[in-house]
């Protein structure tokens, strides 16, 4: 029996706990998830460094999983476009059982090795892609099938599993073990195993976006202004980065199509938007490079 499936000996009487004691115990157990991800930080950094050249070649981030793990992959992929303007077609969330499985359990979907192969092949996985395979057990047949298809296609494979010595982490190009141990409710990996996966995926994708110049300092300068809240955020970000007034930030953003990066370069350099846009393009989208700034 794997660690994630084993009953937790520390909480054999969970159903007898008071509400306060149960809340304390569940939250304390979740802290172990962050510790498990922290222990794997060097492997996550290795995965980012290996993935970046594929993205420079136009590759995609493809998340694959079943159940909770798959839903977490779908969530991470969906958030990259509004947060960082990452092209939607370059962040795919593939879930055993398809879209229906986001909302309803599709019984048996995770057990099909053949479906994992077929779903990856249907999406035309190739050597420029980075495939993130996520499973608590580390041996889910659907995910292992996807791993096989991804490796055949020459994609970079990164496996996330919560059990040490898992087949997935052994078979992936880079295996990341998030050793969260037994769950408080035996086998319920939506608890700290899922939390660890969420933190690890969030860390990986955020590092990727920062490294691809989607962030200036720690400012979200590639945000998509798709609603009133985000329009206000673009003004605040531009003001913070440049020291401009509300009026100058707003008018410059208007002239720049609410592109925060471009507005920052326009205000800081005094260039017109078209010239500033060409400068940004020549500098690979890096605001720092466009402004001639160097790391301190």
List, for residues 250-273, the tens digit of each pLDDT value: 999 999 999 999 999 999 999 999
35 is catalytic: no
Q: Which residue has 């809340």 as its token pair?
A: 23
Contact 219, 241 (CB under 8 A): yes
Instruction: Point out the catalytic residue in the list 5, 46, 79, 121.
Output: 79
pTM of the full structure: 0.94
CA distances from 94 to 2, 62, 132, 155, 226 (A): 25, 7, 10, 15, 25
Instruction: Point out the catalytic residue in the list 110, 121, 183, 293.
Output: 110
Say whether pLDDT at 296 is over 50: no
Residue that wins the pLDDT comparison between 31 and 230: 31
Secondary structure class of 138 (helix, strand, coil): coil
121 is catalytic: no
96-148 pLDDT, tens digit per residue, is 999 888 998 887 889 899 999 999 999 999 999 999 999 999 999 999 999 99
Q: Which domains does the chain have, with CATH numbers?
A: 3-211 (3.40.50.10490), 228-290 (1.10.8.1080)
């Amino acid at each position: 029996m794997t660690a994630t499936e084993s009953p937790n000996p520390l909480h054999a009487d969970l159903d007898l706990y008071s509400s306060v004691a149960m809340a304390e115990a569940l939250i304390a157990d979740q802290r172990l998830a962050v510790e498990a991800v922290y222990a794997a930080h060097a492997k996550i950094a290795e995965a980012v460094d290996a993935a970046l050249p594929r993205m420079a070649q136009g590759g995609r981030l493809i998340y694959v999983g079943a159940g909770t793990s798959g839903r977490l992959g779908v969530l991470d992929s969906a958030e990259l476009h509004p947060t960082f303007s990452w092209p939607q077609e370059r962040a795919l969330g593939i879930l055993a059982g398809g879209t229906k499985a986001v909302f309803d359990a599709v019984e048996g979907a995770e057990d099909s090795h053949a479906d994992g192969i077929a779903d990856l092949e249907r999406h035309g996985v190739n050597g420029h892609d980075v495939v993130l395979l996520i499973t608590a057990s580390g041996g889910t047949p659907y995910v292992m099938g996807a791993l096989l298809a991804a490796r055949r296609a020459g994609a970079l494979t990164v496996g996330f599993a919560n059990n040490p010595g898992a087949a997935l982490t052994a078979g992936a190009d880079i295996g990341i073990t998030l050793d969260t141990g037994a769950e408080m409710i035996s086998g319920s990996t939506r608890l700290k195993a899922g939390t660890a996966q969420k933190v690890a995926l969030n860390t990986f994708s955020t590092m990727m976006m920062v490294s691809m110049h989607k962030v200036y300092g720690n400012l979200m300068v590639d945000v998509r202004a798709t609603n009133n809240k985000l329009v206000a955020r673009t003004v605040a970000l531009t003001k913070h980065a440049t020291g401009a007034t509300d009026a100058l930030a707003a008018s410059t953003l208007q002239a720049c199509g609410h592109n925060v990066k471009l507005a920052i370069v326009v205000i800081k350099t005094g260039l017109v938007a078209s010239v500033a846009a060409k400068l940004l393009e020549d500098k690979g989208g890096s605001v720092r490079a466009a402004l001639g700034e160097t790391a301190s």
